[in-house]
Chains A and B, each alone.
Chain A
Amino acid sequence: DGGITQSPKYLFRKEGQNVTLSCEQNLNHDAMYWYRQDPGQGLRLIYYSQIVNDFQKGDIAEGYSVSREKKESFPLTVTSAQKNPTAFYLCASLAGDIGNSPLHFGNGTRLTVT
């Protein structure tokens, strides 16, 4: 079955360490997105990529980095520069024009930094 796979589901790190969250899709979607969700809040866009080897900053890109070397993969690195990294991270993908179809979301990675 096609879908978006995020791993791991839960991730624990010490403060000051960089950590990379995986997002893989086999839907052959061109665009991929990373959102962050804090408890009781909506989703905020971190980065997005509409084609391979190209990506754009979202509203809260500081302290994060991404790469898009393959169509199927869009990993997110949470760096030590991110002040409050503990959150639920959601990856999404899109086929074609966002006007015709909704974003498809993965199951998320819950990151806890202590």
Chain B
Amino acid sequence: ELKVEQNPLFLSMQEGKNYTIYCNYSTTSDRLYWYRQDPGKSLESLFVLLSNGAVKQEGRLMASLDTKARLSTLHITAAVHDLSATYFCAVDPQGAQKLVFGQGTRLTINP
């Protein structure tokens, strides 16, 4: 059974700082997805990573995938308050056409 674990689960940081969220998964997959969720809202797709070494960047967020280590990272550069949200990673287990989600990382960015 595929397990997806995020670290940390809670993160409070100051504006202007850098930080990284980690996503580990337990079985082979080369398809990993990052989503953002604002309180009480649905999920918004951020990144789709489809191969080993894939790197995607959008604004202050950058995601990468290392399929050999079964690890993805979401790096936040010079954080701003608008990035406060819960971030989820999700993995498609061996082309099963479904996603298994991590527990989510609740990110709070303080002025």
Contacts and interface: CB of A to CB of B under 8 A. Distances in A.
Given A58-B98, A106-B42, A107-B42, A101 B48 contact: yes
A105 B97 contact: no
Interface stretch (A41-49, A64-72, A76-84): A41-49
B102 A98 contact: no
Contacts, number: 61
30 contacts: A33-B98, A40-B106, A41-B104, A42-B4, A42-B101, A42-B102, A42-B103, A42-B104, A43-B88, A43-B99, A58-B98, A59-B100, A90-B42, A98-B99, A99-B50, A99-B92, A99-B95, A100-B48, A100-B50, A101-B48, A102-B33, A102-B45, A102-B48, A103-B33, A103-B45, A103-B99, A105-B42, A105-B44, A107-B41, A108-B42
Given A44-B101, A103-B33, A105-B42, 4 more contacts: A43-B101, A48-B98, A90-B43, A98-B97
